[in-house]
Structure 1
Amino acid sequence: MAAAWFIVDFQNSSICILLCLFSFLCYSFFFLKKRNNSGQGCVLPPSPPSLPIIGHLHLLLSPIIHKSLQKLSSKHGPLLYLRLFNVPIILVSSASIAYELFKTQDENVSTRNLPTNEGSIFFGSSGFITQPYGGYFKFVKKIVTTKLLGPQALERSRGIRADEANRFYLNLIDKATKNESVEIAEEAMKLISNSMCKMLLGKGFSEDQEKVRGLLDETDLMSMKFFVAAILRKPLGISLFEKDLASISHRYDEVLEKSLLECEQHNQSSDMLTVLLEACQGKTGEYKITRNHIKSLFVDFFIAGTNNPTNTIKWTMAEIFNNPKILGRLREEIDSVIEKTRLIQETDLPNLPYLQAVVKEALRLHPPAPLILRNFREACKVKGFDVLEKTTLVVNIYDVMRDPDIWEDPKEFKPERFLPSSRSFQEDEIKEEILKYIPFGIGRRGCPGSNLSYLSVGTAIGVMVQCFDWKIEGDKINMEEVPRTMTLTMAHPLKCTPILRNVKPLLSIV
């Protein structure tokens, strides 16, 4: 078990070599017969050369896994059969194959089959992300849509986000007045986390904010381990980092229990929390949940709803800084639409198509989670090839959204590709495009928070472009990625100094 973990963590290649040599002696006894029987008579997708026991693990030993998979697909094809130990995997890296797969097999691949740590509110059996597609998942998705992320719910919470956007703006004014540099991700994290907290709980975390942000950073660093656990399952899954998981879970529990108690005592619950507490207390008969269900749900949504928009804001500003012409066009659009005396608002976004295009293009090049992980519940066919039941599906959306068969100049940052004038608006083509531009996943298990993310990111970018010039160090921003994580995060801080464009502060109109 320890040897396997060192291989996965890319730290001890000698153990990998020893394991490979040993595998030649025992391969036929442990795996060959089983594999031949399970795939007998099947025509599996193409498969790169593999090694005994470890399968294709040696091809994936890269600190940045989505780029390793991209390289593998560019050499061997967009639909591949891989094997890690005895776990079968189908890798999809083409927009056309992803489109066909989710068009015909969405329900079949709507389960994640993730290992869980029993009793833990983080990555435990009560979580929303780890739930199979069934009763509890549908119950929570319904509540989330009606009380948090649906159009009417977002309209009700618009004032919360407007207040936080104004606070974000005033903080940047303070930095500009003092000629202080800011770290874009740090300021964006405050904006997004404060908004998300108030939307989920009806209140902010106040003195616990720094503790929560530290937990989010720690969670991000563990994301590669979650991916490994999901692929290998037990015994090489959760048990490898159970102590770390228990520690994070305990600290999340402390913060959330404190906040839940304060909400109950002062009757300050959000709409969503009120419904969940009623379900927990048995006041509604639709689905009985526990307090741990509520905490686990809030942890899942706080992580996804805070880290992902924060990273997107940072990537988007980095691309804007690296493309001065885009910055100029973006500012020209904002200045032509919004009065000089007021701050940009969410309600302005539909009238700012180029700003929307800039955000979409940043998400295309830098999707928050570059890999989709699902499981085939039943055997099926994909592109004429057989896929066995319980096979793990990995869709490299990082690669899908850089597919040269679909995207012109796929590596270039070109927001114009998302402008209405550059696309056909035939209904069938729009549906196809939706299935090929998938920064938030796709289908029944796609991220329900995509609309909120567009609103939050668009407003934050709009404020920074409308109100400030920016002084950066050097000519270009370093766009390297953080290694060994499953989220797309910039490796280097994005530090820059804001310079006020308007001496008189703009009004915030809710």
Structure 2
Amino acid sequence: MSLALLFLLFVITISILLSKLGRKYPFPPGPKGLPVIGNMGLMGQLNHHGLAELAKIYGGLCYLKVGQIHMVAVSTAYMAQQVLQAQDSVFSNRPATMAISYLTYDRADMAFAHYGPFWRQMRKICVTKVFSRKRAESWASVREEIYSFIKEISTKVGSNVNIGETVLGLTKNITYRAAFGSISQEGQGEFLKIMQEFSKLFGAFNVADFIPWLGWINGQDFNRRLAKARGALDGFIDKIIDDHMVKRKNRGIENGEEDVEDDMVDELLEFYGEDGSGKSDSITITRDNIKALIMDVMFGGTETVASAIEWAMAELMKSREDLIRVQEELANVVGLDRQVNEFDLEKLTYLKCVIKETLRLHPPIPLLLHETATDVVVDGYKVPAKARVMINAWAIGRDESAWTEPHKFKPSRFLETNAPDFKGSNFEYIPFGSGRRSCPGMQLGLYALELTVAHLCHCFNWELPDGMKSDELNMNDVFGLTAPRAVQLVVIPSVRLNCPMF
């Protein structure tokens, strides 16, 4: 009888497994496409706003097909948890267009590398060396650039200041100096032009990415632009790497030690070895890795931080009572007889709430891109391998089922007990992503963001120009790598401190 019972259990188990294997799961709901091109006609709507509207019709998991590419949009906290936590390993790859693959030296960076041993190596370098909180606070360049930025604004008291332009200049200066050190400042203009061309090529529509046999439509001009852009980056950064290597060698001879400057290139050269024989016993990277990682830092640390600073100031200008509350907190904690320093930040509770609320409404990158490593089933729906998965952090942060008054700027919500945090475990609030592919530069970005907004609110009072009222501010955004303001914020500063600022 026991043998018969075991046999019966065996048959039942096999039947269940075969049933599951044979079951055909449907794709998630979504708009119907046309033959061959699929939903290519909706390309202009595949941004955070358009996908949020599709979610209202089709739900938090929406399927589209553009040419040969399967796409899935995730727009609710529940679906984000299914993707980023329950099956994180399957969704840990990154999609990359042909242009991105070429310009990142075949994914030699961290941002676009597929999940695996190489990516883990790149992330370890970034987390322990490039982006560590200890290192971020030690960067004199961050504080010096913010002080220079405040000094520049102090010369424009009583006149219009374009916050969008000035903060973008600030973040570019910070990341450039942090990456290359003071020895290469004269090349900043050239490098920014290279970055601008990379940005255009990253975002360029290439039909070959979706329908490979139509690749001829883009022609040779596109390929020539790619080759020219990467050649320009090669020439620029190769010279900087060579300069750093000579400097390290000379400084080591003079001082009897190898440690020299504290910039990113120096940090990355600790692991450098073209022939596979780097200094580190366990990690070795090439020149291509260094170039690609630096591009990650420049793209990830300029527009994202600048956009967040500008949005924070815009929201405070629109909600004057919150600006007053932040300034009162600064007066109580810091006083009006000195400027803010980084040691004050931990005591500025309401300022931190303002930053959190800004990131909820305006996440640095509104669409977090992932790619499936294998076929997978999510909430009863099939998502095929190599599908492009778009996590709509912007829509999730405004989800009515997760937030009270989701479209209202309300920093005090983060004073409540058990308020969500952005470390990645609260899926209704993921401005920096979650899981394996969460942003490794979060602490550095927050440091620059909090310190800059604190200085702006503490050093100056602000008014809108031409008698504009707060409710007249244009709060629309435009879609790109980030979602910056459609109309840059222009305001008029007046001195607030009782002491000389410089």
What is the TM-score when the length of structure 2 is the normalising length?
Answer: 0.83
Give 1:346 shift: 2.1
Deviations 1:465-505 (A, max 9, x none): 1011223222233223235x232122223222321113632
Q: Does 1:459 align with 2:485?
A: no
Counterpart of 2:417?
Answer: 423
CA spacing shift, 1:222–1:415, aligned 2, 3 Å: farther
Counterpart of 2:394?
Answer: 398
C-alpha separation in 2, matches of 1:500 and 1:188: 19
Q: How does 1:27-176 map to 2 (within 5 A)?
A: 41-62=24-45, 65-117=47-99, 120-122=102-104, 124-157=106-139, 159-176=140-157
Deviations 1:263-314 (A, max 9, x none): 3333454365334324323233424322121111101111111111011111
Paired residue secondary structure (1:133): coil
> In terms of mean alpha carbon deviation, does 239-248 or 228-237 score higher?
228-237
C-alpha separation in 2, matches of 1:293 and 1:107: 24
C-alpha separation in 1, matches of 2:216 and 2:412: 44
Structure 1 residues not aligned, in runs of 5+: 1-38
CA spacing shift, 1:236–1:462, aligned 2, 3 Å: farther
Paired residue secondary structure (1:374): strand
C-alpha separation in 1, matches of 2:227 and 2:59: 40
The answer to whether the 8 A contact 1:99-1:432 is kept is no
C-alpha separation in 2, matches of 1:400 and 1:347: 33
C-alpha separation in 1, matches of 2:360 and 2:230: 32
- Residue among 187, 209, 223 paired with 1:242: 223
CA spacing shift, 1:229–1:146, aligned 2, 3 Å: farther
C-alpha separation in 2, matches of 1:442 and 1:417: 21
CA spacing shift, 1:478–1:278, aligned 2, 3 Å: same
CA spacing shift, 1:430–1:295, aligned 2, 3 Å: closer
Give 1:355 shift: 0.8
Paired residue secondary structure (2:389): strand
Q: Does 1:504 align with 2:499?
A: yes
Counterpart of 2:252?
Answer: none
Give 1:454 shift: 1.0
Counterpart of 1:387?
Answer: 383
Deviations 1:50-108 (A, max 9, x none): 2222222223433x722111111112211122111222222211111112321211111
Deviations 1:340-367 (A, max 9, x none): 2221122212111111111111111111
The answer to whether the 8 A contact 1:468-1:498 is kept is yes
CA spacing shift, 1:145–1:131, aligned 2, 3 Å: same
Paired residue secondary structure (1:61): helix
**One-letter amino acid of the counterpart of residue 128, structure 1:** M
Give 1:338 shift: 0.6
Counterpart of 1:17?
Answer: none
Structure 2 residues not aligned, in runs of 5+: 1-21, 249-259
> In terms of mean alpha carbon deviation, does 252-261 or 233-242 score higher?
233-242
CA spacing shift, 1:45–1:200, aligned 2, 3 Å: same
Q: How does 1:341-356 map to 2 (within 5 A)?
A: 341-356=337-352
CA spacing shift, 1:412–1:220, aligned 2, 3 Å: farther
**One-letter amino acid of the counterpart of residue 438, structure 2:** G
Counterpart of 1:11?
Answer: none
* Aligned-residue CA RMSD (Å): 2.9
Counterpart of 2:243?
Answer: 262
Give 1:219 shift: 4.3
C-alpha separation in 2, matches of 1:295 and 1:217: 16
**One-letter amino acid of the counterpart of residue 56, structure 1:** N
C-alpha separation in 2, matches of 1:47 and 1:273: 46
C-alpha separation in 1, matches of 2:346 and 2:106: 39
Paired residue secondary structure (2:303): helix
What is the TM-score when the length of structure 1 is the normalising length?
Answer: 0.82
C-alpha separation in 2, matches of 1:204 and 1:395: 40
Q: Does 1:289 align with 2:285?
A: yes
C-alpha separation in 2, matches of 1:292 and 1:368: 27
Counterpart of 1:480?
Answer: 476
Counterpart of 1:450?
Answer: 442
Give 1:337 shift: 0.6
C-alpha separation in 1, matches of 2:173 and 2:82: 39
Deviations 1:183-215 (A, max 9, x none): 212221232222223333333642223333444
C-alpha separation in 1, matches of 2:473 and 2:236: 36
C-alpha separation in 1, matches of 2:51 and 2:419: 33
Give 1:450 shift: 0.8
Counterpart of 1:441?
Answer: 433
Q: How does 1:222-241 map to 2 (within 5 A)?
A: 222-225=201-204, 232=210, 234=212, 240=218, 241=222
C-alpha separation in 1, matches of 2:463 and 2:239: 41
Paired residue secondary structure (1:280): coil
The answer to whether the 8 A contact 2:244-2:265 is kept is no
Larger radius of gyration: 2
Q: How many residues align?
A: 459
CA spacing shift, 1:451–1:430, aligned 2, 3 Å: closer
Paired residue secondary structure (2:204): helix
